[in-house]
């Protein structure tokens, strides 16, 4: 017996799966369903989603353009930390989930719904991210995850359910299971089907927003990104909103084949999975941000950030955006960005984004200190001698002990 619910807010894409979920919720819980569709810059027309929801009997259809908030309040704060999961993944899907779930919660509160529902499967990370966010923002709201509850076990049963309920089935959805694709302003991720064997090379047709670096222009292109307190604010001298800036960076990156990643990652729920990611603008932004930090951050501050970054990335990947520990780390990261202001020039060329120039009004870089020529005298070469002597003291002591016992370094049995 399903629990009794009076109103459910569904995260609705307008696609086949969530349309079936919509119908199933109405039938199973016999209550009103409100749909929420977010424009995250996935590059799809969203008005068809409204028509489809209305056709399926939804009276309250919400479609919200959240692109600016997505980049300003989620993507940019994450980029202040140079965040990468397992050394490579820019977290394009992970960072969008808390935003979607936040909207589901606020709509639920507004319309007096007692539950939210999502279309994430029972095997992935996304279910965890949606639900942990709801738990953190409103513990009174219930969660319905149809993929974990219903009897539908196969693609064929899903199509059959759609047919029996007059849900239109796009032609290309009738055959085998489609790729699992998730797209937004930051990235496109593709999983499943031919990608499930990590020993097989991903076919070229799965790429959607980047050209093959081999087909990218033979001439490099240089762009200049302006930063203020760690966030990108301009491109080639023109001030742009966060979403407009990332949109443009995506165009540059896509054209030059930048930001493709073929990755086997460790999901929070336990298994390894193989996915292909395209993050053109984000890849440029990461390089540029590291470029501006290289002249504006103190060494120890920079290294401390780098130490906590994997931990911060794991929190976002695992769905703990709204958690006390993520907010504590964010405070540290945000503080580090106080002087991260200036301009970085990046050269885009056949899949690479290389920093070629950087400048800042708050630069810590001192040509006088580092020069191979005669400096003004603030650095005394003799200081280096004592510095090295004291650092070498314990190494000499260690080496002497080892040679007394006839050994070198850690060698035990050789
Ligand atoms: N594996 C990636 C992540 O966990 C991407 C998930 C994409 N979601 C999807 N429905 N295809 O962040």
Question: Domain with 37 in it: what CATH number?
Answer: 3.40.50.620
Indicate which residue of 73, 155, 180, 267 is catalytic: 180
Answer whether 20's CB lies under 8 Å from 158's CB.
yes
DSSP, collapsed to helix, strand or coil, labels residue 359 as strand
Q: How many angstroms separate the alpha carbon of residue 304 from the centre of ligand 1?
A: 29
> Residue 191: which domain range?
181-359
Which protein residue has the closest C-alpha to ligand 1 atom 6? 93
211 and 109 share one domain: no
Which residues, 6+ apart, have CB-to-CB distance to 44 below 8 Å? 14, 183
In whole angstroms, what is the distance from residue 229 CA to residue 224 CA?
16
The answer to whether residue 197 is catalytic is no
Nearest atom, ligand 1, residue 190 CA: 11
Total domain count for the chain?
3
Q: How many angstroms separate the alpha carbon of residue 266 from the centre of ligand 1?
A: 11
- β-strand 142-144 against 115-117: which pairing, if any? parallel
DSSP, collapsed to helix, strand or coil, labels residue 342 as strand
Say how far residue 323 (Cα) sits from the centre of its chain: 17
Domain contains 409: no
Indicate which residue of 62, 67, 80, 97 is catalytic: 97
- β-strand 32-39 against 7-11: which pairing, if any? parallel
The answer to whether residue 126 is catalytic is yes
What confidence score (pLDDT) does residue 413 get?
A: 58
106 and 204 share one domain: no
26 and 114 share one domain: yes
Domain contains 260: yes
Mutating to test ligand 1, I would choose from 96, 182, 186, 269 the residue with most ligand atoms within 8 A of its C-beta, which is 182
Q: How many angstroms separate the alpha carbon of residue 302 from the centre of ligand 1?
A: 30
What confidence score (pLDDT) does residue 10 get?
A: 98
What confidence score (pLDDT) does residue 169 get?
A: 87
Mutating to test ligand 1, I would choose from 11, 40, 125, 262 the residue with most ligand atoms within 8 A of its C-beta, which is 125
The answer to whether residue 290 is catalytic is no
Q: How many angstroms separate the alpha carbon of residue 204 from the centre of ligand 1?
A: 20
Tokens of 395: 């190494």
165 and 208 share one domain: no
Answer whether 243's CB lies under 8 Å from 41's CB.
yes
Measured N-to-C along each axis, helices 280-296 and 242-255 cross at an angle, to the nearest 10 degrees, of 110
Indicate which residue of 126, 189, 209, 260 is catalytic: 126
Nearest C-alpha neighbor of 208 from the set 69, 85, 92, 314: 92
Q: What lines the ligand 1 site, CB under 6 Å?
A: 93-94, 125-126, 180-182, 189, 191, 275
Q: What is the pTM of this model?
A: 0.96
What confidence score (pLDDT) does residue 172 get?
A: 73
**What are the two backbone dihedrals, phi and then psi, of residue 8, each rounded to the nearest 5 degrees?**
-125, 135
268 and 292 share one domain: yes
Answer whether 195's CB lies under 8 Å from 264's CB.
no
Tens digit of each residue's pLDDT, the chain (414 residues): 678 999 999 999 999 999 999 999 999 999 999 999 999 999 989 999 999 999 999 999 999 999 999 999 999 999 999 999 999 999 999 999 999 999 999 999 999 999 999 999 999 999 999 999 999 999 999 999 999 999 998 888 999 999 999 998 887 777 777 789 999 999 999 999 899 999 999 999 999 999 999 999 999 999 999 999 999 999 999 999 999 999 999 999 999 999 999 999 999 999 999 999 999 999 999 999 999 999 999 999 999 999 999 999 999 999 999 999 999 999 999 999 999 999 999 999 999 999 999 999 999 999 889 988 887 878 899 999 999 999 999 999 999 999 998 877 786 655
**DSSP assignment string, 319-338:** T-SSSHHHHHHHHHHHHHTT
39 and 162 share one domain: yes
- Residue spans of alpha helices (H) in 224-377: 242-255, 280-296, 299-318, 324-336, 367-370
Domain contains 341: yes
The answer to whether residue 180 is catalytic is yes
What confidence score (pLDDT) does residue 38 get?
A: 98
Q: How many angstroms separate the alpha carbon of residue 182 from the centre of ligand 1?
A: 7
160 and 21 share one domain: yes
Domain contains 412: no
What confidence score (pLDDT) does residue 126 get?
A: 98
> Which residues on adjacent β-strands are paired with residue 234?
226, 239
Which protein residue has the closest C-alpha to ligand 1 atom 10? 182
Domain contains 286: yes
What confidence score (pLDDT) does residue 412 get?
A: 64
Mutating to test ligand 1, I would choose from 88, 189, 262, 317 the residue with most ligand atoms within 8 A of its C-beta, which is 189
DSSP, collapsed to helix, strand or coil, labels residue 37 as strand
Q: How many angstroms separate the alpha carbon of residue 94 from the centre of ligand 1?
A: 7
DSSP, collapsed to helix, strand or coil, labels residue 214 as helix
């Amino acid at each position: 017996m399903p629990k009794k619910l009076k109103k459910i807010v569904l995260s609705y894409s307008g696609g086949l799966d969530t349309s079936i979920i919509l119908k199933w919720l109405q039938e199973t819980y016999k209550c009103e369903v409100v749909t929420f569709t977010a424009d995250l810059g996935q590059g799809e027309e969203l008005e068809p989603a409204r028509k489809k929801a209305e056709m399926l009997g939804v009276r309250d259809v919400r479609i919200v353009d959240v692109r600016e908030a997505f980049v300003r309040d989620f993507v940019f704060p994450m980029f202040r930390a140079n965040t990468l999961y397992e050394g490579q993944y820019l977290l394009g899907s992970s960072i969008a989930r808390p935003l979607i779930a936040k909207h589901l919660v606020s709509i639920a509160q507004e319309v007096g719904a007692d539950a939210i529902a999502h279309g994430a499967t029972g095997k992935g990370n996304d279910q965890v991210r949606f639900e942990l966010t709801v738990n953190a923002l409103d513990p009174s709201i219930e969660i319905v995850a149809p993929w974990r509850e219903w009897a539908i076990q196969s693609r064929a049963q899903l199509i059959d359910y759609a047919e029996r309920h007059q849900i239109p089935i796009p032609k290309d959805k009738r055959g085998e299971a489609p790729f699992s694709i998730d797209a937004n302003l930051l990235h496109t991720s593709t999983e499943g089907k031919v990608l499930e064997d990590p020993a097989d090379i991903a076919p070229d047709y799965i790429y959607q927003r980047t050209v093959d670096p081999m087909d990218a222009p033979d001439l490099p292109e240089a762009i200049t990104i302006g930063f203020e307190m760690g966030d990108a604010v301009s491109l080639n001298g023109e001030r742009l909103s966060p979403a407009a800036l990332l949109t443009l960076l995506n165009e540059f990156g896509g054209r030059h084949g930048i930001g493709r990643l073929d990755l086997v990652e460790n999901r929070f729920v336990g298994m390894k999975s193989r996915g292909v990611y395209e993050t053109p603008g984000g890849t440029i932004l990461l390089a540029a941000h590291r470029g501006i930090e290289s002249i504006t951050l103190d060494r120890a501050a920079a290294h401390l950030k780098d130490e906590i970054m994997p931990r911060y990335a794991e929190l976002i990947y695992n769905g703990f955006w709204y958690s006390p520990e993520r907010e504590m780390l964010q405070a540290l990261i945000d503080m580090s960005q106080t002087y991260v202001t200036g301009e970085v020039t990046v050269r885009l060329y056949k899949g690479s984004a290389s920093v070629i120039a950087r400048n800042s009004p708050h630069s810590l870089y001192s040509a006088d200190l580092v020069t191979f020529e005669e400096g003004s005298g603030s650095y005394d070469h003799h200081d280096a001698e004592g510095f090295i002597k004291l650092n070498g003291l314990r190494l000499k002591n260690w080496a002497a002990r080892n040679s007394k016992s006839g050994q070198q370094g850690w060698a035990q049995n050789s």
